[in-house]
Structure 1
């Protein structure tokens, strides 16, 4: 199953987290141990990055210590609410020194929008909340911080006409450059199978690249995937998707997978398991020819599927289940505009009084 792929990914993330923790105060290790069983590895890595920004603020702006390693829990507890609010201001715009291409240090500007600020403050709240519940600090001042409000973003997706054009481009590559067509001739069957699968099931790009040959079940037209949170589920695909997968499998039989990648369903040109980054580039290449103004990503393919499913069924709970949303409110938030459109469309369905001559 794809589980082996995700276990390997978790292993790499765990090693990366351990490396990041070395740049944080030693007492932060208790936080990461405390959340280990309830937090995804990628989320913990994001926490580590965000906490480093926080301690950098305390060091550079409040001049508390000369290095991050010198901080203690008392420093965290003694931060006042105004200082935490100043941190939110600091996040909007700050500078950072980094090496350029010539190996020289230079100052770069970092501008964060509300979405990024909200994530970093949420990380800080989780950190303070753990320390407070564990009895390591006597008060949780971060809980009093207000998160920035985010404007409701329009769902970027492809309509059915654009999806058809997109798949035509994946299949034929008519608008690709000469160099791109050379690669296209070698990979178009694989690319079409992947794009049809993602557009036809709404699976995440990480779920797609993590598929193994054994995860395919043509008897029931289903694939077994490893969801976020560790849950394994079966997702069903259409006859059109099946056709693309079977065509790719015939081609895959002619390939010799690299060592350690024998079970991977989708192989790269090097005959290794294809990476998330490669799929992101693939989608960008094809979508850029068909919908250049929409900036379509693998996640937007997922949004396109969710939109089409909701428009066809009107069942927000079904959409939430198929997309793997643990909370239907997450789905409702993303498809609120479509719900409003459906409510408006039925305004004349119920008639209070019939017109003369109607039975």
Structure 2
């Protein structure tokens, strides 16, 4: 697989250092919580939980009178025992608007999904110390999870997909400055968007790909999923053509090697998640200005097209890499209803 493992090792190393940095802002006793999490969570999950806990402990020392003479690092397990469910509800209210830790003039507001993630973090945290016998009761069990309202799936329609690919090929409606970059990157950008739209790959998975991950003979490539599992995904002839055209250009430019990243920036380095996101938005804004299209929305577009063609929710879940098919079913529930309506008209008893 070339240097593909190095990309993930690199990312893991950066996230580990980030986790350690955040943990320096937490009470020392919290270390056991993150050690316990290690076997059943990704490093990114632990980083997010550490950041959420930092906000919680900062709330305690800023907003609760009994802790205001303490620093976060001074908080102990005895302080944790004194937390009440009313304190937790005050924390949820605090999340509506609070000052950023690095800038008292910048305020942050958490919406329902941000609050729900912090409640999930606190539940895991309190559960850990309850199981250890530190807490006599787990007050976090009494905390209601904020209600989550389902969001409509934003995706491209079939005609918009065709228009998007046309724009990438032609550069139509790009600004003068954008056209200068387009001349150099059009073939690469078309390969990226085609891969998104025919495999449903995640942007993090896409940027981690190496040339050596591709198998044109069998029309597939190796991808490392969230959690570290490796799977094979398959692509069609249209995708193979887009990828081959891009790699042929790489060979002509002399920057092709099996061990090199599949998608390169103009500086000849592996493209970042952010640069791919900006590239997608640049083209999608022309085709569908009212939709905020991101790489994840292209993934939803692929999932929709695949489900519409097959009606197989388990297939969609498998290809998209959802561990729980209910996650997939939740996102495509509206389409299931459409299929049921279509089924009700499919059988005619008297023609």
TM-score normalised per structure 2: 0.95
Return the match for 2:136 from 135, 138, 144.
138
Determine the C-alpha separation between the residues in 2 that align with 1:208 and 1:109: 34
Which ranges of structure 2 fall in alignment gaps of 5 or more residues?
none
Deviations 1:230-275 (A, max 9, x none): 11000000100000000011111244559x9952111110000110
Match of 1:125 in 2: 123
Any conservation in 2 of the 1:155–1:303 contact (CA below 8 Å)? yes
Q: How big is the shift at 1:75?
A: 1.1
Match of 1:265 in 2: 262
- SS, match of residue 347 in structure 2: coil
Which ranges of structure 1 fall in alignment gaps of 5 or more residues?
100-105
1:79 and 2:83 aligned: yes
Match of 1:103 in 2: none
Any conservation in 2 of the 1:257–1:272 contact (CA below 8 Å)? no
Q: How does 1:88-107 map to 2 (within 5 A)?
A: 88-96=92-100, 98-99=102-103, 106-107=104-105
TM-score normalised per structure 1: 0.93
Q: Which runs of 4+ in 1 moved over 3 A?
A: 96-99, 254-258
Determine the C-alpha separation between the residues in 2 that align with 1:31 and 1:187: 46
Higher helix proportion = 2
Q: How does 1:179-190 map to 2 (within 5 A)?
A: 179-190=177-188
Match of 1:43 in 2: 45
Q: How big is the shift at 1:91?
A: 1.1
Any conservation in 1 of the 2:212–2:258 contact (CA below 8 Å)? no
Return the match for 1:208 from 206, 209, 230.
206
Q: How big is the shift at 1:135?
A: 2.5
Q: How big is the shift at 1:98?
A: 4.1
Query: For residues 12 and 84 of structure 1, do their structure 2 counterparts lie closer, same or farther at Cα, with a shift above 3 Å needed?
Result: same
Q: How big is the shift at 1:97?
A: 5.9
Match of 2:329 in 1: 332
Any conservation in 2 of the 1:199–1:301 contact (CA below 8 Å)? yes
Return the match for 1:14 from 16, 23, 26.
16
Q: Once superposed, what is the RMSD of the aligned Cα atoms?
A: 1.7
Determine the C-alpha separation between the residues in 1 that align with 2:101 and 2:207: 36
Determine the C-alpha separation between the residues in 1 that align with 2:21 and 2:228: 24
Deviations 1:316-341 (A, max 9, x none): 00000000000000000000111011
